[in-house]
Structures are given as C-alpha cells and as structure tokens.
Amino acid sequence: MLKHHKLFESATDLAGPAPDSAVNPDTLSPETGKPFSKLTVFRFLAAFVVFAVLNSAAFTINGGNLLPQHLKDVGMGNPTAAYGVITSATSLVSLFAGYIWGTMSDKTRSRFGKRTPWIFWGSLVAGVGLYLLGSFQTTLNLTLAYCFNTLGQNAIQTPMYAFLADRVPKNVRGTLSAGLGATSIGLPIGQFISSYFLGRSYQNVGFIVGGVLIALSGLLALVIIPREPSSKNAREEQDKTIKDVLVTLLPPKLAGAHDFYKSCVGRFLIMTSYTMVMQYLLYILENYIGQSTIEAAKSMNRLSMFTLIVSLVGLVISGPMSDYIKRRKVPVVTGGILMIIGTFIPLFIRSTAGVIGYAIFAGLGYGIYLAVDGALNMDVIPEQAKIDKNTGKYIGFSNLTNTLGLTAAPMATSLIVTMTGSYGLAFIGSIAATIVGIIFILTIKHVK
C-alpha cells in the first residue's frame, strides 16, 4: 500500500508533462527528460536540507567539539597534535573512499537504483563510527573509529551529490545546491547542541546524539526524495577484464576537463581556508582568547546562533539568485571575499568579540559560497561524462579535493600552532588560501 502513496512515487511520476520542442533543455531532468514539477523540486530540496543539516550537525558535535575536549579529558599530552593526527589520518582514508564509492555506485545495478543502496548502508556504518568516538581513549583506537565512520560517510555523501547531477535540471540546480549547502546551517546547530554536553558529567551522551543524527541524515533523505528508478536493466559492458575495471578507478582525464580541475583546486583551497579556523574554534577560545572550558562552551553557544542566522541568510539568497542571474562564479567569489574579511577580525581583535566578528562575516561568506559550490561543481563536469553516465566518478573526485582540504586544514593549523605557539599565522594562512582559491574559480572559462 505504501508504495502507492505520493511520498513514495518516483521522480518519473512527479516530473510533470512530457516536453515539447519549445521547452528549454536546461529545464529537463537528465533522468526523465521532463521538467520538474513544483512538488518534485520541493521534495529534492527538503531531502537535501535534511541530509546536509543533520550530517553537518553530527560531525560538528562529535568530531568538531566533543572529540577535541575528549582528548583533553583522557589526558592526552598534546591534544592539539593528537587531534591533527586523528583527523588527518581519517581524511586520508576519505580520499580513496569517496572516489572509489562514487565510481562503484556508477556501476551498481539494483532494483533500488544505483545510488540508494550506498546511502542506506552508509548511513548505518557512519552512525556506528561516530558513536564509537566517545568509547575509546587512545589515538589509534579513535583514529580507527573515525576511519570507520568516514567509510560510511563517503557512501552517503558522494551518491547524494550525484543525485544533483543525475536527476536535477540545470535551471534549478543552484536552488537545490543551496539545500546541500545547508551544511553551513548544520555547523552552528551542532555547536549549539554540543555546548550542552561540553565539560558536563554526561558529555559522552553527546556522542550518541551525533551517531544517531548522522544515521538519520541519509535515511530520512531517502524517505523524502523521489524514489530512484531501478538500475537492474541499465546497459553494462560485458566481458570486462581486470584492467578495464582498474581503468575506471583512474582520475578523470585532463583533456576536456580543465574547468573541472580548476573548480576542484578552488574548492580545495576555500575549504582548507574555512576549516583551518572553524575546526579549531574551541581551542581558539580556550588557548588564543584564554577562556575556561565552561566559558568556551557558552561562547560556542553564542557563536552558533550568529553563524546559524548569517549562514541561513547566505543560503536563501545565494542559491536562487544564482539560478536567476545564471551565474555561479559571482556568488562564489563574493562568499570568499566575506570569508577573508571575517578571518582578519580575530587576527587584530584578540577577544570574544573578534571571534564573533569572524563567525558573522566568515559564516555569511561560507553560506553564500556553499550554496552555489555544488551547482558549480556539477556544471563543470564534461558533457561526455554525463552521456556515459559516470558522473559519480567525477563527483567522487571532486569530493576527494574537498576531503583534501579537510586533510590539509588540521595538519596546517596543528603544525603552525605547535611551531609558533599561536594561532596568528593560522589566520594568515587561511586568508592566503581563500585568495588563491578565488583566483582559480575566476579562471574557469565555460561557466559564468
């Protein structure tokens, strides 16, 4: 009975009437060849927002706030260095997982589609891995738990972004990309939730909350989004050799994909820039500003409210505006400039007010940037890849560069702070990375 309910209808059922020769091809779904109905747009948007907010909140609670404090609580001699080791090692695993999972999902044949099974099982694995972060006390065990989570997380994330390329018409891609960009909203929500666990006797309960949220991020999205068509009967080349399979795992060819690679480099640098500061906010409040754990928790609470508001404003404006003006680079560059302004503030105003200034400007800029980042990265995928239906490989590689940013950021900040004993150079490095990232985005030729 349930499968006949509207909520469980496929995108084909909801796409609307068949197009005629006068229809703009940018309005047609790559999956169905038909325009999206308003209901379909809403369901995709709602699913992307639920995924992005819950997923980002979970990572912020467990990995961004509770884990750094957990390292202090268990008596780590140098928690900043340990945190850098754990997150960097985990990100290295993610480099391969996201890319391989994306390529393998392109080849998946099931009655549930080629992306859905990965999101389902990935949600369960990611939830268990994130929960386990509160159960271990050594760097090795914490790293293994985080790696386990990362394997599941990439199985959710890469196929979810592939929906944007495989199923969404170009004319609403910016708006729906803003839904995936709602990770910038999940971040302050995660900070707000974790502030009620930091330094408390029940702090480890927060790890359970994070594990549940990340599992729900994928599962609820699958319930909301139009059902993916079966891929059991999709065309697949026969008599493949082992060499043929290994070739599919090679990075995309540079020929014909220059804009794609420029976008990847820009994404890497801007993500590195933001993460260098944001991922260390708790330590910045404690070690750079001089607050106690409880004071820092209260400050994180306030910061989360500011970041939530400005990120929401950035997302709501940037994504739809990008579709309206038919431009991707303008909002991306605008967001980057605001991030630069925000990072300058705590460099010169060493106080809680300075960090709040950072949260407001950088949070707004990141929201504006992230709303269009997904659409930009879909638009630069070569047309031949879309024809060959191997967009998952390109999305996996694009997410790989995103993960490289997450890898480089904690390594860079940890190294700078360990060598200098201050976060000043980390702020400067963040600003420099954003500037170079913007330059690469501006050099993209075939996307405005």
Mean pLDDT, residues 11-32 taken together: 61
Which token pair is 54? 């819950």
The answer to whether residues 268 and 404 touch, using CB atoms and an 8 Å cutoff, is yes
What is the largest distance, in Å, between two alpha-carbon atoms of the chain? 68
Q: How far apart are the first and last CA of the chain?
A: 47
DSSP secondary structure of 250-318: SPPPSTT-HHHHHHHHHHHHHHHHHHHHHTTHHHIIIIIS---HHHHHHHHHHHHHHHHHHHHHHHHHH
Which token pair is 120? 């389902």
What are 227-262's pLDDT values in tens digits?
Answer: 888 888 766 554 454 455 455 556 667 677 788 888
Q: What is the pLDDT of residue 2?
A: 39
- Position 164 confidence tier, pLDDT thresholds 50, 70, 90: confident
What are 33-63's pLDDT values in tens digits?
Answer: 888 888 988 999 999 999 999 998 998 888 8
Is 90 exceeded by the pLDDT of residue 327? no
Q: What is the pLDDT of residue 7?
A: 40
Q: What is the pLDDT of residue 125?
A: 94
Percentage, residues of the chain above pLDDT 70:
87
By three-state DSSP, how is residue 127 classified?
Answer: helix
Mean pLDDT, residues 165-174 taken together: 82
Q: What is the pLDDT of residue 283?
A: 83
Sorted by where each starts, the structural domains of the chain and their CATH numbers stand as: 35-233+249-442 (1.20.1250.20)
The mean of the pLDDT values for the chain is 81
Q: Give the total residue count for the chain.
A: 448
The answer to whether residues 108 and 228 touch, using CB atoms and an 8 Å cutoff, is no
What are 266-291's pLDDT values in tens digits?
Answer: 888 998 898 888 878 888 888 888 88
Bigger pLDDT: 431 or 411? 431
Where residue 225 falls (left for φ over 0; alpha for ψ -120 to 50; beta otherwise) is: beta
Q: What is the pLDDT of residue 96?
A: 77
Q: What is the pLDDT of residue 412?
A: 84
Residue 238 is classified by DSSP as: S
Q: What is the pLDDT of residue 134?
A: 85
Where residue 47 falls (left for φ over 0; alpha for ψ -120 to 50; beta otherwise) is: alpha
Read off φ and ψ for residue 13, nearest 5 degrees.
-70, -30
- Number of helices (H) and strands (E), helices first, in the chain? 18, 0
Q: What is the pLDDT of residue 5?
A: 41
Is 60 exceeded by the pLDDT of residue 402? yes
- Which of 10-24, 355-369, 428-442 is the least confident region? 10-24
Nearest to 333 by CA among 448, 427, 420, 250: 448
Query: Measured between alpha carbons, how far is 396 from 398 in angstroms, rounded to an integer?
Result: 5
**Residue 21 burial (CB count, 10 A):** 4
Query: Measured between alpha carbons, how far is 371 from 332 in angstroms, rounded to an integer?
Result: 9
Which token pair is 330? 């303008």
Is 80 exceeded by the pLDDT of residue 167? yes
What are 183-202's pLDDT values in tens digits?
Answer: 778 877 887 888 788 878 88
The whole model's pTM is what? 0.71
Nearest to 410 by CA among 254, 276, 293, 241: 276
What are 344-388's pLDDT values in tens digits?
Answer: 999 899 888 999 999 899 989 988 888 787 778 778 777 766 666
Alpha-carbon torsion (376, 379, 385, 388), positive or negative: positive
What are 98-117's pLDDT values in tens digits?
Answer: 778 877 887 888 888 888 99
